[in-house]
Structure 1
Amino acid sequence: MKKIEIKIIPIRLILPIFFLLVQSKMFGQVQERPFILVKASERDQVLEKIKTQAWAKDIYNNLLNNTDIEVAFFYNNPENYLKQLPFNWKEGEKDEFPPFYKTDHVENGIHKNLDNATDEEWKPAALLIKYLQVALDCSMLYHITEDEKYAYAASSILYAFIKSVQKSQLSDWHGRGGWLFPYDGFREVRVIGYKLPLIYDFIHPYIKKGGKSFDIIKSKNLDFPFNEAQKVFRTYADITINYGQTGSNHSVLEAPSLVYNALAMDDKKEREKLLSYFLTENTDNQDALNVMAKNYKNKGDIWPETSQYLNHSTAILVKLMLVVNRYNPDLKLASTYPNILFALPRLDYFVYPNNEIVRWGDGHRKGSVLYDALDDALSLSEMDGLDEVTDKFAPLLAAAIQNGKYKRHEMESIFWHHEITATTPASILLPRTDRVYHAGIVMQRNLSSTIKPEDGLMCFVGGAHMVHGHAEGMNIELYGEGQVLGVDNGRGRYGKDIHENYSRIFAAHNTVIVNGASQGEGGWANLGINTVKLISLEPQVGAEGVSPYYSFSQTSFEDTGGEKAEAKQERTLALIRTSPTTGYYVDVFRSKSKLPNQFHDYLYHNIADDLVFNTTDLKFNDTPNKYMSNANSTWKSGTYRNPGWHFFNDVKTSNTYEGNIKATFKTNKLKNGAIYMQLHIPGFKNREYTKVNAPATFEAPKPYDELVTPTLVIRNSGEAWKNPFVVVFEPFNANEKPSITSVEKIEEHGVYKGLKVETVVASKTLIQYIITQSKDEEFKSEALDIEFKGTFAVITLDENDILQNIYIGEGESLKYKNTLIETDENKAFYKSFIE
């Protein structure tokens, strides 16, 4: 591993006049500290905001009141106050500062990172973080008030930290070691390393003029140790530059420590050199901004990880771009990387009607809009004159402030943000379809004219490999009656058995497992899978859609992980609305393997109390060992007990059954009342059905976050391509009956071609012929008098067989009785035949 050497480049005392002029031109005028978060010259502006703007006054008064409590404790007895820091007195030398207690986490005798650290293990770090935050708060108050009592308290805490931290050896554990967190330097720079330079920057005027710091070893006030502080800042910058990993959000999360510690260097050339590792100089362990920005190639591109990381990563980058741009406005970082700013609102488009987030990989179900990041982006765009960003973000912020969704609460807001006036509030308009390209996700939504979340419909199909991604195959989620019902398991704490051997591998997802062997392979954490590819979509992303009632997607996936699946798959997912309050989903999953003796398992998880089969002649037997073959296989870093279905309990399996199936997931314990998901499954040969209790779904609505998740598994012996898995899903609530009365498959020469679905809505019967084929296939039925060349179509009749409407999602031509429709270049088509 190549290590970047970081050292001071001294400025000689005697330099030619021309070199001084060149250097002045290169690095600008000498800046008086503070200048990292706010410039010394901006103090009057800050005071004016606090005086005239209520939000700024509230932030300042809150900081002042809370900090004054700690300052009083400090002044009551500085020595006792500082000695509460987590010093390891047993290891200290006489008359010298002792080292701090290390923060470490051990599982089964093995040192690990701090993801699962106990409260007791975390206690030294928590104490350090508290004291450093007090020092940072005091330092900001010193800048605003110029009251040296705050500077004295802040400098004394920073003094103690600098003296003590140097007594520890820097760890090199797995290239991720730290100073105080020997097995998690990645976390150390995120929670500790970035605070120190900010404290230093704010109190610099005090210590520069000789202001003292209290030394608990000598029990007296001493000069601040400038050179030692510079060494500490350099070391924390070095941890970022020479430790950690590239190609992930690690580079983003470590960047604040790098930028702030770089800016804390008093030598200009060293400051600029260290800062270059954020801007342009990439190392084996740290991506610079010019590389990270490549993730935002197009306007609207997002950080290529899961939901809780993508917006957070972008927010950090925008904040640091603002800090560095303020330090050197000639960089014009907003103009250089505008797509980073445009990425900020994108997560707000990936939400269900109840505002929960579409979930992929380790992503969370809930999240809040990062309005403070939009605020930062607005300030940055105004610096660089990016009117398009300003025009987009200012109305969003105005609406959020007006509606009480956003209240500025950080001191950075006082330093950077201004009153937003003279703009019309705006909201985000959600499109009918959307995509998360790096996650292979294709979304469909149909919001009801009632505007009620419980009447909205939404679904997605997706799957791909990324950092924090899951080996999930071609996965779906389904929404209905105000809840995400067809669920992805989500994730709990990292490193646990259930996380590694269930949540992030195939069995935790609504997918198809091939030959009992589908798995990830290669890439991040050995969870690599191929990306789900889009074949067809209507409406296209951003388009209005030809019909208010119908949409569909067709996607493909190659299951090539390991050597025992080797399958080609295709999935058609359609959303059919039949009234403002009713609708259903059609899922057609084709799967075939290159290998002999193949079998395929279709999995569907639904939050519920029970899965009830309404098909009375379908009998189930206990089969406790059905999914246990890999339950005790090897589990170590990067090797999992694939496909993870050994976590299924109460396993009950039917005999082979060829008939149609109707089943219902009953969800009775929600606070807003009972809701259901009914399944209609056309029968095929070589099928058996299994119902199981899967582990609880993380972040499901209470109490289902702690209850088992009823799950359906359909096994097909042999290929499942000509006769795929076909399921019609209808959500409904306890106050209404399901609208679907029957579902029949449509075949041509023994090959599945589509469905006939009958519904009753508001006492009116609808008959819908839904043709679902692979691309460029043809279907002809003399009995139904239908001919169709294309991928997806819906023909809707009333109870008297009178044609109501025709929808072609993608197709060349459709003939129904005497009606012939030919499309232009397979474009979508819709026509209503009633007035």
Structure 2
Amino acid sequence: MKLGIQNIFQSIWLTIAFVIVGGIMVYGQKSVHPRIYTTDQNKAVFLQTIENVPWKKELVTRKKERLQKYIALWKNEKEWLVSRLQMNWKTKHDKVYLEGGDFSHSEGKAPVPTVRFSGTRDWATEYRSPSLENITPYTDNPKGLYLEHKKTGKKEWVAPKESGHIIEGINRKIMSLVEDSAFLYWVTGDRVYADFATPVFATYIEGMYYRDAPIDMANTNQQFLSGLATFEVIHEKVLIHLITTYDFLYDHLKAQKINISKAEAVFQKWGDQIIKNGVPNNNWNLFQARFLTYVALVLEPNSNYKNGKGREYYLDHTFNTSTERQISIKESLLVYDQENGIWPESASYSVHVITTLLNIITLLDHFTNANELSNFPIVEKAALASFQYLFPSGHTIGFGDSSHKKLPAENFELLITNYQKYGANEKRNIIANLLNDMIAEGDYKREVKDLFQLFFYVNNVVPNEEENEFDLPLVSPTFYAPNVSWFNQRLGSEANAMMVATTGSYGNHAHSNGISIELFAKGSVLAPDMGKGSSYWHKDHTEYYSRMPAHNTVVVNGISDYEPMRSHHPFHLENSFPKTGETPIFDQVTFSNVSFVEPKTKARQLRFTSLIKGPSGAGYVVDVFRSRKPGSDGQRHDYFYHNLGDAFKISSNEEVLKLEDTEDLGSHQGDLKAYDYLTEKKKLTTAKAVSANFNFTSEDGTSDLMEVWVKGSADQTLYSAMAPKSKAITSGTSPKELLNKPIPTLIVQRNAEAWENPFAMVFNPLDYVEDNPILEVEYAQKIENSTAQQIQVKFKDEATQDNIVLNENESVIYDQGNLYQKGLLSITRTEENKAQPSFIFLSG
């Protein structure tokens, strides 16, 4: 039985109460380690597992093999690994100073070498991270780091702020070796592993114990984001390596008289920094909560510490108590749309929020054995809702800072773990069958990448039962998530599967994209989003990838813009069919009609997009985009369309038109800097209707990908250009020959309002081998005193035709010839020599 919101809160509080009381009852005052992933009580069963389950055994074998080289080097020179840590070896500085998102300097004096802070918040760097073998031991040079340039191959001295995440990355790599060694000590009992790990762990802990948290001299927002080792509290991955090492190595550390209290003090200091800093109302909050869960579970009860900051304290701050920059999970889960299960961020971030929550719940449940997942039904709902993000290829949509990826199989693995543990067999079978389908389709291979997965994934996913008895529709013809301003349309199946995702800008990791679309057909995302740039601080991201000209949208006067990332510029859904989440009997048409006010120019915009199934089963897309700036001043509207390919040609009446080179479009004429990223610009001014054919050439010859039928108009100029590569596409959503290649871009420019006479396009996806399903598209000339669009789509059989009439809204009347229409849309399919239409679709 699902719990209501009030009951969820009560259950979470009961959970914490159990941890506070029950955890002490189970473990008493005695320090029992390990306990985060496993316990000594479960050791015999685990050892059997890694012998009998090949894909788990493989990870343990890989870890042993990876360590062999480093243990051999360590045996020959006992300080080999510890000396590669990035520390203030000579200076022993205990204070770190930042200049905004960059390291400035360190100073002060500690009694021991201290841990170096990262170089910069920006991960993009022109330098390579050295292998451990190529690091100079005990390096601590005022010149900075001696690194190899990626392009020149030459080594040079580099200031830390130019080194990206290299400093933190080296320390994290070293501590991952130490973590593996501690784990293998627990598995094998071989003292070599413990002796290898202990001095590195102790040195790092001492170095962090005596070093303060960083101070931003510029007093920017960075002061509220920094961790102890990195510029963002969500990047403190080294903390998990340290905690896991401590957990597996605990008895050995005690025997070696290592100061356990210093390790505990470091974990407390890290936990406090994570609570104090961060971002409270997006994915950061959950990533921070995951670290806090590790801190809580490795520490002893509150009563063990003078400051009272033990297990209960950090669990309470994880689940119940909210602070300025760390919102409790109890409160965070209310951010989800409780109806549709969507988290308010772009897809790539949203699906990993689910993973993070399942990680937290799994860790806590291992400690309490109290079926913690049952307290959080929204997490289960979100895991299943994430299938709505998928193109028919099984890859996530690319709006905002997303890219086309598979859903994390870890989400379903961890659901199975819970269901199997608590006997929820029906749920287990449903999710197991989903996972089996992913495996069968080659989308997932069962393997483990880290210790968390090694301990918590079940050994065997149950086999498919006699095909699914359970009715579990994972996607629907339309899906609307207002909390991220996203509307999906799906039509057709298998080779004829099509999808359009329409997005505004709402929530976190959004782009300045107006009303944008991504279009999937014929197995590829033919009209992709561009993804994110080299980093969020890199010029290519701030000037191009996050701006309107990188999207399939309309830019007004060359300047349409607003702040990306945490954006509040959604579209309004005016009309759609079918109702979101429903699957009607009639399956020939879907559509959305959304409105938007572009904030920079105050232009009103209205975009109608429809998927229509042709008589052969192959579909096409109608896109009508209205845009008008208020006032009578001159206005310009640029319709951007990016399509996969390496070239495209523009034709009229089967005659290829010649475009001339141009210097138009760019910041030199007052346009956004994003226009400057366009190259090979050509233009043609014509009032004719044209078609643009996008193609690419491979070893097998030239293949057509898309034909775009463009309505003609006075005051209209056509541009062709090459745009920077899409960083959203992957080998699963694009022909491999087109990855990392510039994107051919069609720009239809209207030097007049585009509302009464809007942009109108018919997108006709083409197949490598099949004939073109559409013979011709005709647009009626503008009708006086009418904003209606009349489009005729003629098919290759020369007998079938779709007649489409689209009004501005459902209240407008269209009265021409023998058609009277009061309503938004009509689609009539007729065939020669047949008195009755094949179908008539009316809406609005």
Residues 30 and 48 (structure 1), Cα distance of their counterparts in 2 relative to 1, 3 Å cut = same
Matched, 1:255 2:289: yes
2:116/2:229 contact within 8 Å kept: no
Flag the 1:168–1:178 CA change in 2: closer, same or farther, 3 A.
farther
- In the other structure, the counterpart of 1:241 is 275
1:222-233 alignment, distance < 5 Å:
223-233=257-267
- Using the TM superposition, name which of 664-673 and 269-278 deviates more: 664-673
- Give SS of 2:175's match: helix
CA contact (8 A) 1:35 1:201 kept: yes
Match of 2:249 in 1: 203
Q: How does 1:517-528 map to 2 (within 5 A)?
A: 517-521=559-563, 525=565, 528=567
- 2: distance between equivalents of 1:386 and 1:282? 32
Q: 1:177 offset after TM fit, Å?
A: 6.1
Superposed CA offset, 1:246-293 (max 9, x none): 222122223332221222223435221012111112222222211221
Q: Which residue of 2 aligns with 1:806?
A: 839
Q: Which residue in the other structure is 2:103 paired with?
A: none
1:128, distance to aligned residue in structure 2 (A): 1.7
C-alpha distance after superposition, 1:540-577 (max 9, x if no partner): 233223433322221122212x3xx1122211111122
The whole-number CA distance in structure 1 between the counterparts of 2:813 and 2:714 is 22
1:114 is aligned to 2:160: no
1:764 deviates by 4.6
Shift in CA distance, 610/48, structure 1 to aligned 2, threshold 3 Å: closer
1:252-651 map, 5 Å? 252-269=286-303, 270-298=310-338, 300-330=340-370, 332-365=371-404, 367-382=405-420, 389-400=427-438, 405-409=444-448, 410-418=450-458, 419-421=460-462, 423-424=464-465, 430-448=475-493, 451-452=494-495, 455-494=496-535, 495-521=537-563, 525=565, 528-560=567-599, 562=600, 565-580=601-616, 582-597=618-633, 598-615=635-652, 620-629=659-668, 642=672, 644-651=674-681
Matched, 1:751 2:786: yes
C-alpha distance 413-461 of structure 1, shift in aligned 2 (>3 A) = closer
| 1:776 has 2:810 as partner | yes
For residues 77-100 of structure 1, give each alpha carbon's deviation from its aligned partner in whole angstroms, at most 9, with x where no partner exists.
433343333344332499964234
Verify the 8 A CA contact 1:489 1:508 in the aligned structure 2: yes
Return the letter of the residue paired with 2:215. D
Matched, 1:139 2:182: yes
Q: Distance in 1 between matches of 2:382 and 2:693?
A: 40
> Contact 1:567–1:591 (CA<8 Å) still a contact in 2?
yes
SS of equivalent residue, structure 1 residue 256: helix
Alignment of 1:711-730 (within 5 A): 711-730=745-764
Q: Which amino acid aligns with 2:250?
A: H
Q: Does structure 2 retain, via aligned residues, the 8 Å contact 1:664–1:676?
A: yes
Separation of aligned partners in 2, 1:662 and 1:100: 62
Q: CA deviation at 1:725?
A: 1.0
Relative to structure 1, the CA distance from residue 432 to residue 64 in structure 2 (aligned partners, 3 Å threshold; closer, same or farther) is: same
Matched AA of 2:651: N
Q: Evaluate the alpha carbon distance shift between residue 417 and residue 461 of structure 1 in structure 2; reply closer, same or farther with a 3 A threshold.
A: closer
Q: Distance in 2 between matches of 1:607 and 1:25?
A: 58
Instruction: Give 1:381 shift.
Output: 4.2
What amino acid is aligned across from residue 554 of structure 2 in structure 1? V
What is the deviation of 1:180? 6.1
- For 2:209 and 2:226, how far apart are their aligned partners in 1? 12
Specify the alignment match of 2:132 in structure 1: none
The answer on whether the counterparts of 2:479 and 2:489 sit within 8 Å (CA) in structure 1 is yes
Distance 1:90 1:674, change over 3 A: same
Contact 2:34-2:40 at 8 Å conserved across structures: yes
Correspondent of 1:692 among 721, 734, 744: 721
Q: How many residues align?
A: 747
CA change 1:570–1:643 in 2 (3 A) is farther
Distance 1:288 1:61 in 2: 39
Equivalent of 1:29 in 16, 26, 33: 26
Amino acid at match of 1:145: T
Tell me which of 690, 708, 717 is aligned to 1:661.
Answer: 690
Give the aligned CA root-mean-square deviation in angstroms. 3.2
For 2:53 and 2:695, the matched residues in 1 are separated by: 53
Aligned to 1:163: 206
> Alpha-carbon deviation of 1:795?
0.6
| Higher RCO (CA-CA < 8 Å; seq separation 6+) | 2
3-state SS, counterpart of residue 552 of structure 1: strand
Q: In the TM superposition, what is the alpha-carbon distance from 1:672 to its structure 2 partner?
A: 8.5
Deviation readout 1:168-222 (Å, 9 max, x if unpaired): 332033225657646x143551x212221121112223333x2x2xxxxxxxxxx
With over 3 angstroms needed to count, the CA separation of the structure-2 counterparts of 1:388 and 1:284, relative to structure 1, is farther
Gaps of 5+ in 2: 1-17, 94-108, 129-146, 148-162, 217-221, 304-309
Tell me, in whole angstroms, the C-alpha distance in 1 between the residues paired with 2:525 and 2:646. 15
Q: By how many angstroms is 1:415 displaced? A: 2.5
Contact 2:667 2:673 in 1 (8 A): no
SS in 1 for 2:269: helix
Q: Which amino acid aligns with 1:303?
A: W
Tell me what 1:193 maps to.
239
| Change in CA separation of 1:279 and 1:118 when aligned onto 2, cut-off 3 Å | farther
Report which stretch shifted further, 57-66 or 493-502.
57-66
* d(CA) in 1 for partners of 2:744, 2:484: 26
The percent of aligned pairs where both chains have the same amino acid is 22
Separation in 1, partners of 2:170, 2:661: 53
User: Compared with structure 1, are the counterparts of its residues 719 and 145 closer, same or farther at alpha carbon in structure 2 (3 Å cutoff)?
Assistant: same
Residue 459 of structure 1, CA deviation: 1.7
Aligned-partner Cα distance in 1 for 2:380–2:332 = 13
* Conserved? CA contact 1:667–1:674, under 8 Å: yes
Match of 1:662, SS?
A: strand
Determine if the alignment matches structure 1 residue 796 to structure 2 residue 835.
no
The structure-2 alpha-carbon separation of the partners of 1:151 and 1:777, relative to structure 1 and needing over 3 Å to count, comes to same
Aligned equivalent of 2:102: none
| Higher mean C-alpha displacement, 396-405 vs 467-476 | 396-405
Match of 1:104 in 2: 119
Cα deviation, residue 694, structure 1: 2.4
CA distance, structure 2, for counterparts of residue 58 and residue 626 of structure 1:
56
Normalising by structure 2, report the TM-score. Answer: 0.81
Cα distance in 1 for partners of 2:701, 2:171 equals 44
In 2: Cα distance, 1:422 partner to 1:440 partner: 38
TM-aligned CA distance change 1:351 to 1:735, over 3 Å: same
State the distance in 1 between where 2:717 and 2:834 align.
35
Q: Is the 1:681–1:726 contact (alpha carbons within 8 Å) kept by the matching residues of 2?
A: yes
Taking a change above 3 Å as real, the CA distance of residues 572 and 434 of structure 1, as seen in their structure-2 partners, is same
